[in-house]
Amino acid sequence: MLDDSNVLQQRDPSGALAVAAAEHEQARFSVGVENPAHDGRQITRVIVAGMGGSALAALLVQSWLKTELRVPFEVLRSYDLPEYVDYNTLVIASSYSGNTEETVSCLVQARAKNAQVAIITSGGKLQSLAADDDIAYVALPASLQPRMAVIYNLRALVALFAHFNLVGFDHFSAIAETAGWLEEQTLQWTSDVSTDKNYAKQLALMAVGKTPVFYAGSVMAPVAYKWKISWNENAKNVAFWNEYPEFNHNEFIGWTSHPVEKPFAVFDLVSNHEHPQILRRFEVSDRLLSGMRPKATTIQLQGHSVIAQMLWGSILADFVSIYVAILNGVDPTPVPIIEKLKLELRDDNAA
């Protein structure tokens, strides 16, 4: 089925596979910070407020740059800021649509607390607020699903971090340096590559009809979360994720009981940048759980750097989950029930 071009066209009418095939181009996104002037205040902590795919880029940065940042950095996925937000806190409101109500709420609170604020968006209320009130912001290219614009968001966030003197611009350049290599890798997963040579299609066939569980170490944990997001929104399937070593302190024992036949597909996202003991935990855990859960399929993340592996894994997640959507007979692009939820919440607020 996955090698039948007619089936692919019928079941992917919005062109999700083409979007995934072009994601490497986002690594070269030329970021312009609008309303760039700021008062030079000292930043002592950072919060990125965002949901779903908009939060994911922040989680990637939080892991990637944890040894570089000299200030606390929190990713907030809710309506309310913590009480400690003050004049020296940088609050970045990140919403691809610009209308995410949780993120808008956080921005309003940040301004009331006189915090330093910035915005990442492709439009909506946030872009209007940025333009009207001279708030520093990055305008993202529009017309994508947020989960498919993670690398755009990542470039924007790192550019803002550099703009506010939290990191050097070399990290911004490091993302762009992966673009050519990511293109080469992506060409191996596109729809015209047959299943016998296409790793993404092979992984999809392993997982279809099952509930996937994705595991990673602490460095690549956001990538496991990305696989879950892609599975939920592209394949329209429930999926779960966790990270080592936390897995061994609770979920590990959960696999040992009934039922013996478990309808899951387990994937270990393994990186050579993880702590050696975490790599050992992958091996020992799978051996000790032999016969109690499906044997884990190891996905060895490719790339010479942490950020290269993160982006390689993120793009692969989209390809595999889109192929699962095609096998499921669902359109991978729209998320109508999410849009219905937003509309009903908006109506409730207006009542």
Contacts of residue 21, Cβ cutoff 8 Å, sequence gap at least 6: 186, 189, 190
Structure tokens at 201: 């299609």
Q: Is 38 a catalytic residue?
A: no
Residue 48 has, within 13 A of its CA and on its CB side, a CA count of: 26
For 202, list phi and psi in degrees, rounded to 5: -65, -45
Q: Is 342 a catalytic residue?
A: yes
| Gap between the terminal Cα atoms of the chain | 48
Residues paired with residue 47 on neighbouring β-strands, in sequence order: 74, 91
At CA 172, angle to CA 226 and CA 30, rounded to 5? 95
Q: Is 171 a catalytic residue?
A: no
Indicate which residue of 23, 226, 233, 243 is catalytic. Answer: 233
Distance, in Å, from the CA atom of 74 to the CA atom of 71, rounded to the nearest integer, reads 10
DSSP state of 231: I
Distance, in Å, from the CA atom of 213 to the CA atom of 267, rounded to the nearest integer, reads 6
Please list the active-site residues: 233, 249, 342
